[in-house]
């Protein structure tokens, strides 16, 4: 497998020295930044994540700053979700769509004040979309990428580790809520969130210089908790049904196809709403489904077509063997004609045809 060639354009993060010292074995690039993909092995990393606690460099979850008198107006144009219901300490998962209802990104919005938001984005320069709107309409709002690098602490012992570094206040943070808690001479927004279902937090580290001191504090306090460096895990996130924008869904998909209809409740005429009216009424023609795959599979590095009677009825873009569930777990986008549970569909992999079976629900 080819190595990755680093340069200034593919940015390192404030935590890269820690990641390298912990023996990272693979990277991907996400928002022009390095994102670790494996430390020991994807299987061993998953097993550890489910039992202990891991520290993840997810700096690549870049923030889009939306700040100024017109910030809420812009958010209401962008958001299919009703922004008036958002509380002051809340995080909102917000699928953002184009004029045709096609997904542009699926950020987590963090409300810092009525006129101040961060959008913690998936892979894609969503700030360019927001900036284009702002300049065209002459809105009074700043759009930029602030010096904020999220660090995730995930796993069943995350509360214990975080309490040692930030105090017991972290235990009271509710899911998708945040508190601002002190660290050294500063403070960080800390949310109960993260891209696993093992529980944990995301620390929005403002100021790159605080990166390694925080990393070191977490490791120093976590030795007896068996803390390790980790990263979004390719097995655990499929088991958990966590979708990867760019892989499982793209601009050609609507939020309804992605099973995100509960996040499309804005009463306002947001960008794309009219185009989504039919799917809101009648449901989408295809949708995300959990699948199992029979037999042996290789790594899923591009989309595998799902076929029925010589016709494509969907595709799988994420698949891995799950040691916990002893089956190949997968995420697919499946046509309505074949999305019912227990439907068996031919899956075309580069290693040959495999049978895929639609599941009732994800594994957790």
Identify whether the C-beta of residue 149 lies closer than 8 Å to the C-beta of residue 205.
yes
Q: How far apart are the first and last CA of the chain?
A: 32
Binding flag, residue 132, a second copy (CB under 8 A): yes
Q: How many residues bind a second copy (CB under 8 A)?
A: 51
**Which residue numbers belong to the known binding site for substrate?**
202
Binding flag, residue 38, a second copy (CB under 8 A): yes
Nearer to a second copy, 149 or 318 (CB): 318
Q: Using CB under 8 A, pick the residue from 117, 118, 129, 178 that binds a second copy.
A: 129
Which range in 84-92, 96-104, 321-329, 334-342 contacts a second copy by CB under 8 A?
Answer: 96-104
Binding flag, residue 6, a second copy (CB under 8 A): yes
Report in angstroms how near the CB of residue 171 gets to a second copy at its nearest: 34
Q: Using CB under 8 A, pick the residue from 267, 281, 301, 342 that binds a second copy.
A: 301
**Residue the block writes with tokens 């655990």:** 236
Tell me the C-alpha distance between 313 and 328, whole Å: 20
Measured from the Cβ of residue 22, the count of other Cβ atoms closer than 10 Å reads 18
Q: Are strands 108-113 and 116-120 parallel, antiparallel or unpaired?
A: antiparallel
Nearer to a second copy, 240 or 303 (CB): 303
Report in angstroms how near the CB of residue 260 gets to a second copy at its nearest: 18
Angle (nearest 5°) at CA 314 between 313 and 319: 140
Binding flag, residue 299, a second copy (CB under 8 A): yes
All residues at 6 or more sequence positions from 223 whose CB lies less than 8 Å from its CB, including other chains = none
Nearer to a second copy, 222 or 272 (CB): 272
Binding flag, residue 258, a second copy (CB under 8 A): no
**Residue-by-residue DSSP string for 138-185:** T-S-EEE--SEEEEEEESTTHHHHHHHHH-GGGGGPPBTBEEEEEETT
Binding flag, residue 282, a second copy (CB under 8 A): no
Side by side, which strands form the sheet with 63-67?
91-93, 108-113, 116-120, 63-67, 142-144
- Residues near a second copy (CB under 8 A) are 1-12, 24-29, 32, 36-38, 98-99, 104, 123-126, 128-137, 244-247, 271, 299-303, 317-318
């Amino acid at each position: 497998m080819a190595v990755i060639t680093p340069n200034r354009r593919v940015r390192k993060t404030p935590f890269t020295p820690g990641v390298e010292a912990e023996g990272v074995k693979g990277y991907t690039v996400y928002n022009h930044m390095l994102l670790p993909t494996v430390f020991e092995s994807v299987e061993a990393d998953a097993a550890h994540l489910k039992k202990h606690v891991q520290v993840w460099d997810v700096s690549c979850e870049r923030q889009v700053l939306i700040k100024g008198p017109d910030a809420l107006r812009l958010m209401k144009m962008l958001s299919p979700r009703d922004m008036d219901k958002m509380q002051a300490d809340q995080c909102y998962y917000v699928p953002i769509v184009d004029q045709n209802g096609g997904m542009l990104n699926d950020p987590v919005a963090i409300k810092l004040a009525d006129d101040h938001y961060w959008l913690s984005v998936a892979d894609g320069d969503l700030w360019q979309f927001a900036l284009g709107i702002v300049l065209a309409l002459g809105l009074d709002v700043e759009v930029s990428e602030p010096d904020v690098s999220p660090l995730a602490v995930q796993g069943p012992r995350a509360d214990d580790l975080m309490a040692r570094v930030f105090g017991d206040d972290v235990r009271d943070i509710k899911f998708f809520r945040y508190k601002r808690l002190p660290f050294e001479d500063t403070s960080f927004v800390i949310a109960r969130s993260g891209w696993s279902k093992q529980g944990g937090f995301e620390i929005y580290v403002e100021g790159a210089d605080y990166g390694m001191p925080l990393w070191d504090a977490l490791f120093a306090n976590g030795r007896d908790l068996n803390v390790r460096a980790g990263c979004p895990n390719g097995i655990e996130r499929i088991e958990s049904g966590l979708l990867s924008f760019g892989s499982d869904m793209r601009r050609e998909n609507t939020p309804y196809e992605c099973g995100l209809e509960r996040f499309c409740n804005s009463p306002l005429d947001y960008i794309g709403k009219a185009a989504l009216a039919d799917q809101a009424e009648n449901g989408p023609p295809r949708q995300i489904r959990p699948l199992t795959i029979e037999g042996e599979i290789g790594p899923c590095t591009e989309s595998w077509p799902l076929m029925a009677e010589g016709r494509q009825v969907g595709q799988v873009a994420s698949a891995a063997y799950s040691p916990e569930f002893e089956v190949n777990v997968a995420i697919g986008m499946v046509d309505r004609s074949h999305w019912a549970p227990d439907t068996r569909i031919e899956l075309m992999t580069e290693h040959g045809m495999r049978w895929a079976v639609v599941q009732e629900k994800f594994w957790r």
